[in-house]
Structure 1
Amino acid sequence: MKKAIIYVRVSTDEQSEKGYSLQHQEDRLRQYCQQQQIDIIGFYKEDHSAKTFERPAFNELLKFLKTKRGNVDLLLFLKWDRFSRNAADAYSMISQLTKLGVEPQAIEQPLDLNIPENKIMLAFYLAAPEVENDRRSLNVIAGMRRAMKDGRHVTMAPKGYKNARNEQNRPIIVPSKDAPMVKWVFEEVAKGVLSIKEVWRTARRKGLNVGRSNIWYLLRNPIYYGKILLPAYKDEETKIISGLHEPIISEDLFYEVQDVLDGKKRNPKPKYTAREELPLRGFLQCPRCGRALTGSPSRGNGGTYFYYHCTNGCKERVKAEEVNKCFTKELARITIKDKYITLFEKAAEHYYHQNQERKSEKEVQTEIDKHLQRIKKAQQLLLDGELSAAEYKEIKSQYEPEIAQLERKRQDIEQMDANLLEYVKGTADLLRNLLRYYNNATLPVKQKLIGSIYPKKLIYEKNEFRTTEVNEVIAAIRRLGAAEEKREKEKAPETGGQSEEVIRIGSIQSL
């Protein structure tokens, strides 16, 4: 008498949509074995997709066959699509079972695999369910993309929204009871005062049930300002679609938060009244204790006098008029010769023409493509029943905000590239007339210039300034000029005025 293991499988969607039943399969297999006088020595059942053989029950079955080698003759199942819905994997598994001395057989689609012609029918039985899977996947993807193009969110609602139906009974998302708290989270982060961790803890105490890692995905998700990310697919590029749902926050607030997350927005500085007499307030460091100097007026000798001074008790105090005059001399000192500024313009123009496709843009696009591929893979696993809707939603909510942020970064790079020569021209004009610009500028413009030229605080001591560094562009041009002077002294051949000095676009733009 032959000995057999019977195997039944059904996935959740098959059971609900097609009426497959584990009990029905088991009854048919036991009846068949009784009629054919086959001894059943094992029974395995599972609710799992047949896309791959990474199935819990099947792995146990395979382990049993390896330990009972030679004691099992048949592996019986109802149809070949119960065995596998992937032709390539099925052939590999059939070969593995054959080596174990086990013949796989579908009782409703019996095939004698020793007859070569029957392999044609086997190919059909195995390919048909795989084709069905692929067609269903394409139909689902097409349907989801149509809905997304119409501005509809097609998966589980993110935190702050809930799934609902509109007048046409179509699925939509609407703000939930958590929406005000989600808005509060964005507003607090945008202020740049509390850390993300502190905002998250406070939100949790106020009742917003969101995990520590998920708070980052929430803050990156464009769904909250009314947009839907449509991933790239085949020849279609990634797009940001205006959603039909109600936004919880404004677009401006969303991008303020992105700046905070990217470190572009610093914590607000203490407020003080701007004074024309104190343009360097906030940019000076105490030479005694290292703390920032402030400034204030002082009455005496029949008039009002302004001073920069320390508040740390070290009694550092200098006349503002004296410091301001010395600063204009400092600007004159760092003024660059016109010929070197012209050299910088030529070098930047040469760099622009040689680097139309920037490496950084390619790197960003590569990251976008990676994230899109991850979402696509998760979507396929969802369709195959190997991921739950909640797991798919978590993966999707993780990567969609990152994709939107990367798209914004890529667009920024493209815009900077397009405007590079304009930035260079403006920077060159500013550097040629730096002292005149500063002297004629309003107080806000003066302070912007100071902050742009000196990324770190200045130290005033003994009637002169000292600082550790200046703006990268100025430093690069000065190095370029020094190299040119050295070449001139050595009487080296002309190089056309082009330098290998690489200057970041952001540093040009900052001036």
Structure 2
Amino acid sequence: MSNEQNRNGEMTRALIYCRVSSAKQRIEGSGLESREQRCRAYADDKGYIVEGVFPDDVSGGGDFMRRPGMVALLSFLDAQKGKSYVVIFDDLKRFARDTEFHLKLRREFATRGASIECLNFRIEDTPEGKFIETVIAAQGELEREQNRRQVIQKMKARVENGFWVFRAPIGYRYVSAPSGGGKILEPDPVLAPLVTDALEGFASGHLGSQAEVQRFLERSPHFPKDKPDGTLRPMTVNRLLKKVVYAGYVEAPNWGVSTRKGQHEGLISFETFQKIQDALEGRKRHFPARKDKNEDFPLRGFVACDCCGNAMTAAWSKGKYRRYAYYRCETRGCEAKSKSVPKAKMEEGFGEILKGLQPAKELFQLAEVMLRDA
């Protein structure tokens, strides 16, 4: 072991930067640990004192300022005024897989008085050394762009075959395809009924605006909220209403893939999806009059379910000898779904409420005196 010292006679300080391209590589393998181990062995062999390790498990697309570990490393150097460091990389391609960012990152280290050393490449400040270093950086950029193109081509092919390849929309989750060969969407047992009710409610006019859809979803404790105060951004609701994936279809306009039938189960019909788009684009919605809307059930649509808060429906039920009238909730996922309340009980209770709201005789007399004075 050689004990290298800096110009002041002190032991050389070192920092280790190690990176894998994704969190999956970090979880499923020992990529970060093995890289760190090799860098520590290199530092021990050189006699360096390792003062910090900065790992990353994100790609950053070549831009080192989008990597938290690299940002932390540069911030650490900024805080160590007057100290010099050697930054150790296990692979030059892990430095910056983009020629422009590679050169920029070299300058960032130089302005902070830090030098870099690599396990698989000897960095030399000579014209020949800089040329070879730039060529290797360009090769890394080429490989990154080729990998990206290959991934997009595979994803595009799956969309063309009817598979959704993006993040699972709210109301769905990814499971292994029965026939093998990748993942497929399936309705989430908790969120799918909620999304269906919101979409069908907007299409039918029961939820007359995007704001009403937003309030409907915000009332559910299960629907994920995207604001700290437990509410939704209007854009979240708008995007939900426009996703054709909920109708069982897929598309990828940016890749030139038109709308087509998907391999997954839709939460609504395509006809319902079209009604939603008509409403969003300002085309008039026509809601046919209910054939069963008559005097038999005057409270239909006005009384709310005590469990979920949605409007209750009503209908006649045929018994063995005669028909019976009931009010009931038909909201999917509601604990009181299909539990019937007799018509007489419901309407008698409503009548008692109205009686309780009737003004007292004295109030009428007071109002009469006030009106006469006026």
TM-score interval for Structure 1 and Structure 2 normalised by the shorter chain = 0.5 to 0.7
Counterpart position of 1:117: 128
Equivalence map 1:127-206=2 (5 Å):
127-170=138-181, 171-177=183-189, 178-194=191-207, 195-203=209-217, 205=219
Equivalence map 1:242-391=2 (5 Å):
242-265=261-284
Matched, 1:56 2:78: no
Counterpart position of 2:118: 106
Render the CA deviation track for 1:184-232: whole Å, top value 9, x for unaligned: 3222212334333334434555676254333322211111222211223
Alignment partner of 2:17: what SS?
strand
Percent identity, aligned pairs only, is 26
CA distance in 2, matches of 1:59, 1:167: 43
CA contact (8 A) 2:39 2:89 kept: yes
Return the TM-score normalized by structure 1. Answer: 0.47
Counterpart position of 1:447: none
Alignment partner of 1:117: what SS?
helix
* Number of residue-to-residue matches in the alignment: 266
Residue 172 of structure 1: CA displacement?
A: 2.0
Counterpart position of 2:241: 219
Counterpart position of 2:253: 231
Residue 91 of structure 1: CA displacement?
A: 0.7
Structure with the larger helix share: 1
Alignment partner of 1:103: what SS?
strand
CA distance in 1, matches of 2:111, 2:166: 45
Higher relative contact order (CA 8 A, sep 6+): 1
Gap runs ≥5 in structure 2: 7-11, 226-231, 291-374
Residue 85 of structure 1: CA displacement?
A: 1.8
Alignment partner of 1:232: what SS?
helix
Matched, 1:34 2:44: yes
CA contact (8 A) 1:44 1:57 kept: yes
Alignment partner of 1:183: what SS?
helix
Residue 149 of structure 1: CA displacement?
A: 0.3
CA distance in 2, matches of 1:210, 1:36: 52
* Structure 2 CA distance for partners of 1:45 and 1:153, relative to 1, 3 Å: closer
CA contact (8 A) 1:153 1:173 kept: yes
CA distance in 2, matches of 1:253, 1:132: 45
Counterpart position of 1:96: 108
RMSD of the TM alignment (CA)?
A: 3.0
Matched, 1:6 2:15: yes
Counterpart position of 1:299: none
Counterpart position of 1:309: none
Residue 266 of structure 1: CA displacement?
A: 5.7
CA distance in 1, matches of 2:221, 2:87: 54
CA distance in 2, matches of 1:97, 1:157: 40
CA distance in 1, matches of 2:172, 2:116: 49
- Residue type of the partner of 1:216? N
Render the CA deviation track for 1:84-134: whole Å, top value 9, x for unaligned: 222211111212322333221213312212x21122321233233322222
Residue 154 of structure 1: CA displacement?
A: 1.7
- Residue type of the partner of 1:242? K
Render the CA deviation track for 1:341-386: whole Å, top value 9, x for unaligned: xxxxxxxxxxxxxxxxxxxxxxxxxxxxxxxxxxxxxxxxxxxxxx
CA distance in 2, matches of 1:167, 1:239: 25
Counterpart position of 2:362: none
* Structure 2 CA distance for partners of 1:176 and 1:162, relative to 1, 3 Å: same
Counterpart position of 2:316: none
Residue 72 of structure 1: CA displacement?
A: 0.7
- Residue type of the partner of 1:260? A
Residue 42 of structure 1: CA displacement?
A: 4.2
Gap runs ≥5 in structure 1: 272-511
* Structure 2 CA distance for partners of 1:129 and 1:15, relative to 1, 3 Å: farther
